[in-house]
Amino acid sequence: MKLLNFSAALLATSFFLYSCNDGNKTVTSETTKDSLAMTTPGIGDTSTTGKKTNPSSATSPEQEFINYAVPKNTKEIIWITAGTMKGDKEIKKHSVMMLKDHNKLAMEIKTWMGNHTNIMMPALDTANEVNINNKMGNEWNKAWVEKMIADHVEILEKLKSAKTSVADADLNKIISNTIPVVESHLSMSKMMATAKK
């Protein structure tokens, strides 16, 4: 069952990344080098090529947000999937909930990008993303929770900033709806951290 959950999460992420590309775009496949290694399009890619790839430049608040949100959400899905596999019972339970939310966000952004052909897909680098696999047991659990807290604090700050700068009404709605979800993930992660002291 764990393997099926992990495969489903990777498949959902891969579908999101592949669907964001037009017919002229080639998505490369590599085997990730971390402990979650699996050959999946879009996961573990160190680069992407084609018309819709925009590795660094941002020409609008919308493009700037996408340049941040797509790679960050993809990496969060990898970390949360690791939680469903390696975490203790509490982490696994919360990871399943968070994974559902992050996959939903990926699909919402995919749909929005499909309607905005001027927005380019940012480059992704997810090699060696989960970097705590030298830790074991409760040490791994604590490191994972600390990562979730730090990431969700950062994401929340970026979302609030983007909400004031993004003019597109549909993207702004996605951002607005995501803020309370990220706040709940942060609160959940802080509670787990307290329990693991």
pLDDT tens profile 20-67: 444 333 333 333 333 333 323 333 333 333 335 544 455 899 999 999
* pLDDT, tens digit (0-9, with 9 covering 90-100), for 116-159: 999 999 988 888 899 999 999 999 999 999 999 999 999 999 99
Q: What percent of the chain has pLDDT over 90?
A: 64
Give this prediction's pTM.
0.72
The CATH-assigned architecture of domain 2-195 is Up-down Bundle (1.20)
* Spans of all domains in the chain: 2-195
Mean pLDDT over residues 96-113, rounded? 97
What's the confidence (pLDDT) of residue 102? 97
Compute the distance between CA of residue 130 and CA of residue 145 in angstroms, rounded to an integer.
Answer: 13
What's the confidence (pLDDT) of residue 128? 81
Residues 62/116, Cβ–Cβ less than 8 Å: yes
- Tokens at 22, concatenated: 């037009």
Q: What mean pLDDT is reported for the chain? A: 79
